[in-house]
Structure formats: structure tokens, C-alpha cells
Chains A and B, each alone.
Chain A
Amino acid sequence: MKHTLSVLVEDRPGVLARVASLLARRGFNIHSLAVGPTAEPGMSRMTIVVDAPELEQVKKQLHKLVNVVRITELDPATALEREIMLVRVAAPAGKRGEVLEIASIFKATAVDVGPSSMCFQISGTPAKINDFLDLVRPYGIVDLVKSGRIAMAREQKTKPGRLRAVN
């Protein structure tokens, strides 16, 4: 089962290695990981998607890292989740129109055109990106790169599940 963790960390060298090493120690595969600065100076946010049956113990272990400030597990059903993808699709002159038509439905932008292929940029939910990929796959995917997933909780009526300690 995939879990999305939003981890606020101090922006220090080696923090990524500490977090990754801890997940590796538990044998968890990191599905995707995105790191970037936050609005708070000196702090970074990691959005980590991991494949694991349950995360309670790992969240507690992650909290033991001195540079980890806050961990929030985001519910995929309600959280805002986004990815960005660059995909180069095989599209010789005769096929460009069809491919562009699909792209326009998905609001994917053509960012490069060559004699035999076109490159699109698309952002959105992981589901939307996968749907777009399914539709262009028959034309032939030459190359593909995805950002890690980034995610944020929606404004909640109930208190978000912040994990500081057991009690």
C-alpha cells in the first residue's frame, strides 16, 4: 500500500541521506521523493511516497532524527497531490495532429517538436498524468521523466493528524 508522507526537515547537508537510510533500514521502497524549500527559512519539505503495509513505527523512527521537525501522513483521498511530467512521444509529421488533440484535452503543453517526435509538459494529479500516458502510449513513448509527487493537505475542518508523540 502506498503512503504519502509530508516531512518538514531542517535544511542541512545530509538530511536526505538520513531519511532515505532510515527508510532503507526498514526495507521500505521509496516510490517517489521530492524535496524543496518551504516558506519558512532554513526548512525544507520532503514529500515521500513509500510502499509499506503500515507506517506507524517508521514515522516514530523518522521523528527520532534530530533534523526532522514534523511528519504528516496525507490521506490520498483528500490531499492535494501533484506531479509534473515531461514525455517525448513518437510523432512523425502525419501523426502530430492526433497527438496534439489528446494533449489539448489534458492541457499538456508541447515544449519541443522535432522531425520524428514531440515533447509535452503536463502537470496535475498522478491519475491524470497516468491517463494521458495511457492515451499517448500507442504512438510510442521515446522518453519520459516525472518529478516526485508533491502533496499538501486541504484546509481541514477537523484537526490534521500531526504526529508529535504517542500522547
Chain B
Amino acid sequence: MSTITGAQALITALEHEGVDVVFGVPGGAILPAYDPLHDSPIRHILARHEQGAGHMAEGYAWATGRVGVAMATSGPGATNLVTPLADALMDSVPIVAITGQVPTSAVGNDAFQEAYTTGITMPATKHNYFVTDVDEIPQVVREAFHIASTGRPGPVLIDLPKNVLTATTTWREPGEISLAGYKPTVDGHPRRVKEAVDLIAEAQRPVLYVGGGIIKANASAELRRFAELVNVPVTTTLMGRGAFPDDHRLSLGMPGMHGTYTAITALQKADLLIAIGVRFDDRVTGKVDTFAPHAKVIHVDVDPAEIGKVRTADVPIVGDARRILTQLIEAWAGRETPDRHPWLDTIAAWKRDYPLRYDQQPDGPIKPQFVIEELYRLTDGDATLVAGVGQHQMWASQFWRFSDPRRWINSGGLGTMGFAIPAAIGAKVGRPDDLVYAIDGDGSFQMTLQELITAASEGIPVKVAVFNNRSYGMVTQWQKLFYGGKLSASVLGDDVDYVKIAEGLGCAGLRAETPDEVAPTLEKSLAIDDRPVVVELVVDPDEMVFPMVPAGASNDEVILGPDDLGALP
């Protein structure tokens, strides 16, 4: 058997896992791995910052459902990966990060570019490895991919000292995975499933409250079958947008702080929540004590620690969402589909009386919501949307009509500004035939804009809409509503020329400043396919995101619009 280096074993192991692309930035300690990577069929995409590489791996994983891979060197390379790792942990995104480390003889000696990577990333990963034996590399890679992609998905990091990468070994085919402490539950307990079905049959005002777990489990088709079978309306959280089609008669839209009045209120009035792949996040529940006060709860999640964490479940079911939805459908067999008339009529009335709204004047400033609706119209909704974090993210989630899973990508849990550009790049690499449009704010954009160089130089034609309100819009919104209008450190006030930036970084740059310029400018952006496009949209800096439930308030206190601010405490 021929002798190979640890680095060669690593790259071979990645090939065996089916990896087709690695997002990374090289450096001293990881250099040995970059040598065989150069000769491998695996494509390497050179990010301009390790944070970008990490978000690219996330975007790739979101879009494809496969494990995204990021690579970085020791020290600052690894610490720059911490934000995407924490982001992936919060949003259950399967990624594997590979970091170089100083040689084992230098570990702990404050060597050049040394950081205690496994220690720093311990609370930011699902699991991590510090490899000291070159022979273990294939097995560790196999385990890392298994842990990242099964159960509740998440990030796994493998830290490889330089001397382990250069040491020689012979290829050892990784064996069966046997992890005594890691055996995710897949099937729901049959008795619990039966109890759930009985509750659903008895309920008068049930709501399906579903999130990212449906998308991670590829359970959208089963969800739709089930919702129609039991005739229960569905609200999709920020993480679950696209899990259920927005144009379906049973769709309520998004719940929570900036959700639709209908979704928020349906949860408040419900007598049963069928919660699947959700974690009762504070942005959804508002004040927990007053959230869905009349509802019994069926809680389905693959992570037992989520059940009962925030809200006690009357029927807890641990397992894979797709598998459990199938079990629920089977357990329902023989029952009739309830007509649920009074409840569905009430919901239809809320939808009619309290739609999402904004006011675009023909000669006024551009309203950001109008841009989302125009983009939807021009693309027929046939695009993957990737958002940064802030007002623009909420408007995109509210006004796009999602119909498919994995075509809405955003940073929900950690709320990482700067997520959009690199995540869009990763998504486009994963699904090159899809139109990938990033919706970004000017604040978010400025955090990772250098990755446009990556997109341009690697030939990844993403499109980026920059909603320029010359401020951290969500911060100014809170300051206007809750801090007496004192705009402390939130107005960017700069005269950045986004068109020049785009052109300077190898992209096309476009700008729209009035409402009538929006459609033609967006059309132009759709026509360019040989390089990335940045579209600056100069939007109304005074526009706020509504509806809004103030942080910590009860979901009974929805502020519907700027004319409804009397309700503020």
C-alpha cells in the first residue's frame, strides 16, 4: 500500500464524502492541505475573508441540502470562522470547517498564528476534533460529515496541526460509524403520534406552526399533504419560509415580531399548535407567558432539548420531521377531513382586513417593499432569495411569495449582518442554474462586500440588491420607536458610490433612485449574466417594518403601521 501524507488523506477523504467544492483562504498551517487540493477534482473557491468562506459554505448547504465545506489556516483564519460557525449552529446548517493548526510541538507555546481553535469553537459547533494522529484523518472526516448532516444538522470543525498534515500514513478506509453518545432518534413514538392525531381531530382552532426543521428534513411535500388532509392553516417562520407555499389557501404567512397580523393572531386564538421543526424563538413568541394562551401544544423536533425548552408540550414527539409527518398521515387514515369552517372563515376575514401594506407614491421615494414586489413580478418568483440582516430581510420575507423550500436563505438565529453576499455566492455555486438574488441593506453590504471580488474572479454571477437608506435601518427604527428618536451611531450618512464599488470589484453596477426606475433597472440586472451585478436602490430612509410586536411585548399588541403607533407603551 502506498504511502500518503495526512494532507492527501484529508483531500481523499473529502472526495469520498462527495465534496465538489471547498470555500477557503490558505495560510501557513493549512498549506500542506492546499497542495493536494490543487490536484484534486474538488473545486476551491478563494474567499477574500474566512468569514466569507464560512457563509459561502452555509449558503451552499442551505441551497443544496448537502454539507458545505470551509477551509482556513490557524489563528486568525480560524477565529474569522467563528461567526459563520455560530451562525450555522443557531440555524442548524450542516457545514464542516477544516482549519490548520501550528505543529503539535508548538501547540500551547503562543506560536505564530496560534489560537486554541477547538476551545474557541467548542460552544460554536455541534462537535469539533483536534487530530493528533495522522492515521485517524479518514475516520474523523467520515464522522464529521455524519454528525454535521444527521439529527439536528450543524457545524463541525476539524483542527489539523501542520505536522499531522505532513506526516505519512497509508489510506485507511473509514469504518462503520459507531458513536456511543450520538444516536439521533428518527421515528416518532407511535403512541405519541396517535395522541397527536386525536388532538388534531378534536381541535376547533388548530394551527400548524412550522419552521426550518421542515426544510432541513426535506419534508415540504409531506407537510402539504398533511395540512390539506387535516385542513389546518400553516404559518412558516423566518427559517421555514418556502416550507409551505405562500399562495396556498391554508397559508398564513410568517408569524412573530414582523409577521402578518393573521399569523400572529391565529396563533394567539388557536386551541392547538402543531409545532414542527420550530423552537419557540423569542422573535416568534413575544412575551412567552402570553403566547398562544389557549393552545395545547404538539411539538415535533429532532432535537429533544428543544422540546419543553420554552413551552411545555402536551404531546412531545422526537424524531425526523419528514418521518413523523408520514406517520401522522398514516395515523389519520380513515378519518374525514374536517371542514373547520368557523375557524377558516375567521382567518379569511383577518387576511382580508389586515393585509401587509405600504404606500408607494409615484413621485415619492422608493419604498423597499415595492422593490421586492417588482422583483417578484419580473422574475415570476423563480429565484433564490438570500438576505442580509435587518429591515430589508424582513421586507423580503414578508413580500416575496415563497413557493419552494431552499430558495429563501438568511441568517435567522444569530442575525449575522453581512450574510447575504457570501451566502448568495455559496448558493449559486451549489445551484448554478438558479437565479440567485441577494437582498441586502447598505449596512449589511458594507460588512462583507469584498466577497464581490470572489464572485467576480471565480465567475459566479450573483445579483445583489442594495437597499440604501444610508443607515442601519432596523437600529434607527428602534431608536425612533423606543429611544425618543435619538439616532445614536446608526446613520451611515456617507456618500458611498455603490456603482463605482461594483465596477471597481469587477461587477456590473446599476442604480435606481425613483420608483419608475425600479423595474427597468431590475430588468437590466436580470439581463446581465456574465458577471455579478450590484443594484443600488435608493430607498426611503423613513420607512419602517410593520406589523411589529415590540420586543418583550405580548403578541396581542400588534402595531399594524405608522398610523397605529398610539399602541406603543
Give A residues with C-beta under 8 Å from B: 9-10, 13-14, 17-18, 21-22, 25, 43, 56-57, 60-61, 63-70, 165-167
Contact B130 A14 (CB under 8 A): yes
- A66 touching B182 in the complex, CB below 8 Å, given contacts A13-B130, A14-B130, A25-B123: yes
Contact B305 A57 (CB under 8 A): yes
Residues of B near A25 (CB, < 8 A) are 123
In the complex, residue of chain B having the shortest beta-carbon distance to the beta carbon of A62: B305
Cα of A90 to Cα of B493 in the assembled complex, Å: 73
Q: How many residues of B contact A (CB 8 A)?
A: 25
The tally of CB-CB contacts under 8 A between chains A and B is 56
Cα of A25 to Cα of B305 in the assembled complex, Å: 15
C-beta contact mask, B106-149 vs A, less than 8 Å → 1, else 0?
Answer: 00000000000011001100110010000000000000000100
| CB of A159, distance to nearest CB on chain B (Å) | 17
Residues of B near A61 (CB, < 8 A) are 305
Residues of A near B461 (CB, < 8 A) are none
Residues of B near A9 (CB, < 8 A) are 181
Residues of B near A18 (CB, < 8 A) are 122
B127, B179, B305: most-surrounded residue (chain A CB, <10 A): B305
Contact A166 B316 (CB under 8 A): yes
12 contacts between A and B (CB under 8 A): A10-B180, A14-B130, A18-B122, A65-B181, A66-B126, A66-B127, A69-B180, A165-B304, A166-B316, A167-B188, A167-B317, A167-B318
Cα of A39 to Cα of B550 in the assembled complex, Å: 55
| CB of A59, distance to nearest CB on chain B (Å) | 9
- A56 touching B308 in the complex, CB below 8 Å, given contacts A21-B122, A166-B316: yes
In the complex, residue of chain A having the shortest beta-carbon distance to the beta carbon of B182: A66
B126, B181, B303, B309: most-surrounded residue (chain A CB, <10 A): B181
Interface flag for B424 (CB, 8 Å):
no
Interface flag for B57 (CB, 8 Å):
no
B147, B188, B303, B317: most-surrounded residue (chain A CB, <10 A): B303
Residues of A near B318 (CB, < 8 A) are 165-167
Cα of A64 to Cα of B181 in the assembled complex, Å: 8
Cα of A153 to Cα of B291 in the assembled complex, Å: 40
Residues of A near B341 (CB, < 8 A) are none
| CB of A10, distance to nearest CB on chain B (Å) | 6
Contact B305 A64 (CB under 8 A): yes
| CB of A17, distance to nearest CB on chain B (Å) | 7
Residues of B near A17 (CB, < 8 A) are 119, 122
Contact B308 A166 (CB under 8 A): yes
Contact B123 A21 (CB under 8 A): yes
| CB of B477, distance to nearest CB on chain A (Å) | 31
Interface flag for B204 (CB, 8 Å):
no
Residues of B near A66 (CB, < 8 A) are 126-127, 147, 179, 181-182
Interface flag for B554 (CB, 8 Å):
no
Cα of A14 to Cα of B192 in the assembled complex, Å: 37
In the complex, residue of chain A having the shortest beta-carbon distance to the beta carbon of B313: A166
Interface flag for B64 (CB, 8 Å):
no
- A10 touching B181 in the complex, CB below 8 Å, given contacts A57-B309, A60-B304, A66-B127: yes
Residues of A near B189 (CB, < 8 A) are 167
A10, A68, A167: most-surrounded residue (chain B CB, <10 A): A167
In the complex, residue of chain A having the shortest beta-carbon distance to the beta carbon of B151: A64
| CB of A41, distance to nearest CB on chain B (Å) | 12
